Amino acid sequence: MDSLQSLFSLRGHVGFVTGASSGLGVDCAAALAMAGADVALAARRGDRLDKLAAQLASEYGVRTAAIQLDVTSDGQIDVALARARRELGLVDILVNNAGISPTGRAESLPRATWDAAIATNLTAPMMLAQRVARGLIEAKRPGRIINIVSIYATVASSIYRLSAYTAAKGGLLNLTRQLAVEWADYGILVNALAPGWIPTEATEAGMAKGNNRERMERSTPLGRLGQPEEIRGAIIFLASEASSYVTGSMLAVDGGYQAW
Ligand SMILES: NC(=O)c1ccc[n+]([C@@H]2O[C@H](COP(=O)([O-])OP(=O)(O)OC[C@H]3O[C@@H](n4cnc5c(N)ncnc54)[C@H](OP(=O)(O)O)[C@@H]3O)[C@@H](O)[C@H]2O)c1
């Protein structure tokens, strides 16, 4: 193995990506597979996972598993991780990507909307991370946890009314730091990846409204929206030996949005 490969290869590792049925999750899974990891793909829409699992297996020659999962159910998380372990081996790279971004004025936000955003974007990543870490600690194996946060983990949105989302992502960012500290002794590195504005099923409609897209482009130093595949390099970096001294950090993939 040459030195470049030893820095970035994920061969022999097992990834578990939530929200792999659309948007950025597809690219998180593709990135791990491209670097040689076997990958479990998890989300509620199983038909999409089946297609992606077959595609990644044939394109990159890795083993894949399509696992239907609602991340807000602790019981389903246990079953899904057990299945990934049975089919692929112990999960040592977790990508907490599943997320929802409900909007609504803060002064009238329904309790159910708040609860759903916190359950999916904050509680579920914790429950998944906890279980993956437990497996690694018991097996005395190192691992990686990558939490997909957002530019809205560090700043508020001037475009959308996103109180539940910003609260959850801000919480997930600081949870990332806490877990990094608590699990450093076990060799479990925990980092956050913060995407900027990237068109996906979740974001396209909002971007098309009024002059939103133009405002986003204007407030991004690189002057354009991102593309989903532009997070692949950051995922491989955070999952691989290349980031062996990186933990508790946030890597922004946002065209410079947070730089000014
Ligand atoms: N796109 C952006 O501009 C942007 C910017 C910053 C951060 N992010 C973050 O990136 C992540 C992916 O977003 P995206 O833009 O790719 O959105 P997306 O296309 O809507 O994808 C969201 C994914 O989350 C899954 N999901 C939602 N609720 C779930 C649940 N209860 N159980 C399991 N899976 C669930 C969905 O799968 P099913 O519906 O099949 O379950 C889907 O695969 C999110 O955490 C989001 O906050 C996105």
Nearest CA to ligand 1 atom 17: 202
Rg of the Cα trace of the chain?
A: 18
Q: Distance of CA 110 to CAs 107, 124, 205, 251, Å?
A: 9, 20, 22, 32
Q: How far is the CA of 201 from the centre of ligand 1 (A)?
A: 8
Side chain identity at residue 18, one-letter code: T
Residues in contact with ligand 1 by the CB-under-6-Å rule are: 18-19, 21-25, 43-45, 69-72, 97-101, 120, 148, 150, 195, 197-198, 200-203
The neighbouring-strand residues paired with 253 are: 195
Q: If you measure from the C-alpha of residue 207 to the centroid of ligand 1, how many angstroms do you get, rounded to a whole number?
A: 16
The string over 27-36, giving b where at least 16 C-beta atoms fall within 10 Å of a residue's C-beta and e elsewhere, is: bbbbbbbbbb
Q: Which of these is catalytic: 60, 165, 186, 245?
A: 165
pLDDT of residue 2: 73
pLDDT digits (tens, 9 = 90+) for 48-68: 999 999 999 999 999 999 999
With b for 16 or more beta-carbon neighbours within 10 A and e for fewer, the 124-147 pattern comes to bbbbbbebbbebbeeeeeebbbbb
Mean pLDDT of 28-34: 99
Which protein residue has the closest C-alpha to ligand 1 atom 23? 19
Residues 6+ apart with CB under 8 A from 67: 40, 41, 42, 49, 80, 83, 84
Question: Beta-carbon neighbour count of residue 201 at 10 Å?
Answer: 9
- Please enumerate in sequence order all residues whose Cβ is within 8 A of that of 154, keeping only pairs 6 or more positions apart, or say none: 170, 173, 194, 250, 258
**Residue 94, pLDDT above cutoff 80:** yes
Single-letter code of the amino acid located at 25: G
Pocket test of ligand 1: the residue of 16, 17, 18, 21 to mutate, having most ligand atoms within 8 Å of its CB, is 21
Task: Kindly give, in sequence order, each residue whose CB lies less than 8 Å from that of residue 242, ignoring residues fewer than 6 positions away.
Answer: 7, 8, 236
Q: Give the E-state strand segments of 114-187 in sequence order.
A: 143-148
For a mutational test of ligand 1's pocket, the pick from 16, 17, 18, 22, i.e. the residue with the most ligand atoms closer than 8 A to its C-beta, is: 22
pLDDT digits (tens, 9 = 90+) for 167-185: 999 999 999 999 999 999 9
**5 CA to centre of ligand 1 in angstroms:** 30
Distance 24 CA to ligand 1 centre (A): 7
Q: How confident is the model at residue 157 (pLDDT cuts 50, 70, 90)?
A: very high
> Can you list the domains of the chain with their CATH numbers?
3-251 (3.40.50.720)
In degrees, rounded to 5, the angle at the alpha carbon of residue 14 between the alpha carbons of residues 12 and 17 is: 150
**pLDDT (average), residues 112-123:** 98
Which residue's CA is the nearest one to ligand 1's atom 43?
A: 19
Provide the β-strand partners of residue 189.
Answer: 144
165 belongs to the catalytic site: yes
- Which atom of ligand 1 is closest in space to residue 165's alpha carbon? 47
The whole-number average pLDDT for the span 217-245 is 98
Which residue has a Cα nearest atom 41 of ligand 1? 44
Return mean pLDDT, the chain: 97
Compute, in angstroms, the gap from residue 23 CA to the centroid of ligand 1: 7
The answer on pLDDT for 22 being more than 60 is yes
At residue 1 the predicted structure's pLDDT band, cuts being 50, 70 and 90, is low
